[in-house]
């Protein structure tokens, strides 16, 4: 039954080519902000790296899998942050690799530099491929079918604006600027829009609570995430998230050394795949390094610690 459901899902995706493409999805989106807003590059006083691996809808053959590597830091001589992200995303017979560089110009709003407005640009390449030769249709003569392996590489651009302070962060951005929804295909991801914010609430000397929200839209579909994380003694975190009409998520994490953190999240599906999937798993490894005590004009760490 699971295999039948997956085949139906993939066939529907191919038949609705112009409306099926979507950006990657992470439950740990609060740790991978530069992937959807380049203005967040170099937003903390350290060199930050993230490695995320997501296995979605366990139990399905060829279920979605996504891996992300990102690194970013503030560079004093450039008056802003620079970053790099590499994303590998696989869904059934479809695969995407996106490599992107980011630059974010930071405008100090106070003398202390604890409040900043950033403008970011991401630029790189995206390669989409589809194993059309492995697709099977009820009607193998359907003129809308894809019957050969296809691959396409093209330039890819993002733009974003972000506000950062010690206790509050908000941003708005767009990815795949050059690609409209009307012209999107299975090899062309349409333009996406993002709006997000997070705020630190100091509950006690050792406890910080950080609620966050993210809205993602490609016009034909809009997704809303609401999350609350509780940090204890800056050593570990636990939290929950709700993704509208899709999943309820549990998140945990801990500092394993001075420079590294590890986290895990589990998605309990509440949407159409609930009866067929064992949920989704995600592991995140975070690194933070003091490369120089003078590299930033002010402190506004993304963990709000």
Residue 72 has pLDDT above 50, yes or no: yes
Q: For residue 78, what is the DSSP state?
A: G
Q: Are strands 236-243 and 247-255 parallel, antiparallel or unpaired?
A: antiparallel
Where do the domains of the chain lie? Answer: 2-289
pTM above 0.75, yes or no: yes
CATH number of this structure's domain 2-289: 2.40.160.60
> E strand or H helix at 122, and its extent?
strand 116-131
Cα-based angle 67, 7, 180 (whole degrees, multiple of 5): 60
Tokens of residue 43, six digits:
């937003």
Residue located via tokens 């590299």: 295
pLDDT in tens, 214-234: 999 988 789 999 999 999 998
- In tens, the pLDDT along 75-123 reads 988 889 999 999 999 988 889 999 999 999 999 998 887 899 999 999 9
């Amino acid at each position: 039954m699971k295999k039948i459901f997956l085949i139906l899902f993939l066939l529907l995706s191919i038949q609705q080519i112009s409306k099926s493409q979507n950006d990657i999805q992470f439950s740990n989106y609060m740790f991978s902000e530069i992937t959807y807003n380049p203005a967040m590059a170099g937003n903390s006083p350290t060199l930050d790296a993230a490695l995320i691996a997501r296995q979605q809808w366990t139990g399905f053959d060829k279920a979605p899998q996504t891996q992300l590597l990102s690194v970013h830091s503030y560079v004093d001589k450039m008056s802003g942050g620079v970053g790099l992200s590499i994303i590998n995303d696989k869904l059934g017979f479809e695969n995407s690799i996106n490599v992107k560089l980011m630059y974010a110009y930071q405008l100090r709003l106070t003398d202390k530099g604890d409040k900043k407005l950033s403008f970011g640009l991401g630029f790189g390449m995206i390669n989409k491929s589809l194993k059309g030769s492995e697709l099977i249709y009820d009607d193998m003569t359907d003129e809308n079918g894809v019957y050969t392996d296809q691959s396409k590489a093209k330039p890819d651009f993002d733009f974003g604006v972000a506000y950062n302070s010690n206790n509050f962060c908000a941003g708005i951005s767009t990815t795949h600027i050059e690609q409209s929804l009307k012209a999107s295909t299975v090899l062309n991801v349409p333009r996406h829009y993002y709006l997000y914010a997070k705020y630190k609430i100091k509950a006690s000397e050792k406890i910080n609570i950080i609620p966050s929200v993210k809205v993602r839209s490609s016009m034909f579909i809009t997704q809303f995430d609401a999350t609350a994380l509780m940090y204890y003694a800056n050593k570990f975190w636990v939290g929950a998230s709700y993704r509208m009409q899709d999943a309820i998520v549990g998140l945990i994490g801990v500092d394993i050394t001075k420079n590294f953190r590890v986290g895990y999240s589990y998605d309990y599906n509440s949407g159409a795949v609930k009866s067929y999937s064992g949920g989704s798993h995600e592991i995140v490894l975070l690194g933070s390094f003091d490369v120089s005590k003078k590299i930033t004009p002010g402190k506004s760490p993304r963990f709000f610690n």
